[in-house]
Chain A
Amino acid sequence: MDIDNVRKVAKLARLDLSEADLATMTTQLSAILSYVDQLKELDTDNVEPMAHPLPLKNVFRPDELRPSLPVDEALKNAPARSGDFFAVPAILDAGDDLSH
Chain B
Amino acid sequence: MSLPYKIVVGLEVHVQLLTNTKLFCGCSTKFGSPPNSQVCPVCIGMPGTLPVMNRKAFDLALRAALALNCSIAEFTKWDRKNYYYPDLPKNYQISQYDLPFSYEGFLEINAAADPKKEYTPKRIGLFRAHLEEDAGKNTHDESGRGADSKVDLNRTGTPLLEIVSKPEINSPEEAKAYLEEIRLMLREIGVSDCEMQEGSLRCDANVNIHIEHEGGIAATPLVEVKNLNSITSVGRAIAYEAERQYKEFKKDPVNYRFGNMFKTTAGWNDVKGITVIQRHKENASDYRYFPEPDLVPVVVTPSEVQAAKMAMGELPSEQRKRLQSAPFNLTQYDSQVLTAKGRRMVTYYEEVTAVIGDGKQVINRMSDLVMGALNDRKEEIDQFPLSSQTFADFMKKTASITQQGRRDVFNHMLEKGTDAATSIKELGIQTDFDESKLLQAVLEAIAANGPAVEDYKKGKTAAANRIKGHVMKTAKGAPNDVVQRLLEAELAKLMGT
Chain A contacts to B: CB under 8 angstroms: 12-14, 51-54, 56-69, 71, 74-75, 80, 82-91, 93-100
Contacts and interface: CB of A to CB of B under 8 A. Distances in A.
Interface in B39-94: 39-41, 44, 52-58, 75, 77, 81-88, 93
Contact of B21 (A56, A66, A91): A66
Given A66-B27, A71-B37, A85 B150 contact: yes
Interface stretch (B138-146, B398-406, B430-438, B444-452): B138-146
A12 B149 contact: no
A61 B159 CA distance: 14
A98 B28 CA distance: 21
B140 A61 contact: no
Contacts of A75: 36
A80 B149 CA distance: 11
19 contacts: A12-B84, A12-B286, A52-B297, A57-B298, A57-B299, A60-B53, A63-B55, A69-B41, A71-B35, A80-B148, A82-B150, A85-B35, A85-B36, A86-B153, A88-B86, A90-B140, A90-B141, A99-B265, A100-B83
Nearest to B39: A74
Nearest to B24: A61
B153 A63 contact: no
Given A52-B296, A86-B151, A14 B84 contact: yes
Given A13-B84, A59-B53, A86-B153, A100 B93 contact: yes
B291 interface: yes
A75 B39 CA distance: 10
Given A61-B53, A66-B25, A90-B141, A12 B282 contact: yes
B15 to A, nearest CB: 13
Contact of B26 (A66, A87, A100): A66
B139 to A, nearest CB: 7
Contacts of B35: 71, 83-85
B342 interface: no
Contacts of A68: 27-28, 37-40
Interface string B271-285: 000000011001000
List the 8 closest A-B pairs by CB distance, nearest first: A66-B26, A85-B150, A63-B56, A60-B55, A86-B151, A87-B148, A56-B296, A88-B86
B147 interface: yes
Contacts of B55: 60-63
Given A56-B296, A68-B40, A98 B56 contact: no
B300 to A, nearest CB: 9
A51 B85 contact: no
Given A12-B288, A84-B34, A100-B83, A60 B58 contact: yes
A66 B38 CA distance: 10
A84 B36 contact: yes
A72 to B, nearest CB: 10
Nearest to B84: A14
Contact of B28 (A51, A65, A85): A65
A88 B28 contact: no
A22 B330 CA distance: 71
Contacts of A95: 140, 226-227, 267, 278
Contacts of B298: 57-58
B232 interface: no
A49 to B, nearest CB: 9
B86 A65 contact: no
A3 B267 CA distance: 34
A82 B141 CA distance: 12
A98 B141 CA distance: 17
B465 interface: no
Contacts of B202: 98
A88 B148 contact: yes
Given A63-B20, A100-B83, A87 B150 contact: yes
A60 B36 contact: no
A85 B136 CA distance: 11
A62 B135 CA distance: 22
Contact of A90 (B38, B40, B148, B297): B148
Nearest to A8: B286
Contacts of B19: 63
Given A61-B53, A88-B86, 13 more contacts: A62-B56, A66-B26, A66-B40, A68-B37, A69-B41, A71-B36, A74-B36, A83-B35, A88-B151, A90-B149, A91-B149, A98-B14, A98-B135
A89 to B, nearest CB: 6
B291 A51 contact: yes
A99 B137 CA distance: 12
B168 interface: no
A61 B296 contact: no
B293 interface: yes
Contact of A65 (B26, B204, B297): B26
B195 interface: no
Interface in B427-474: none
Contacts of B265: 96, 99
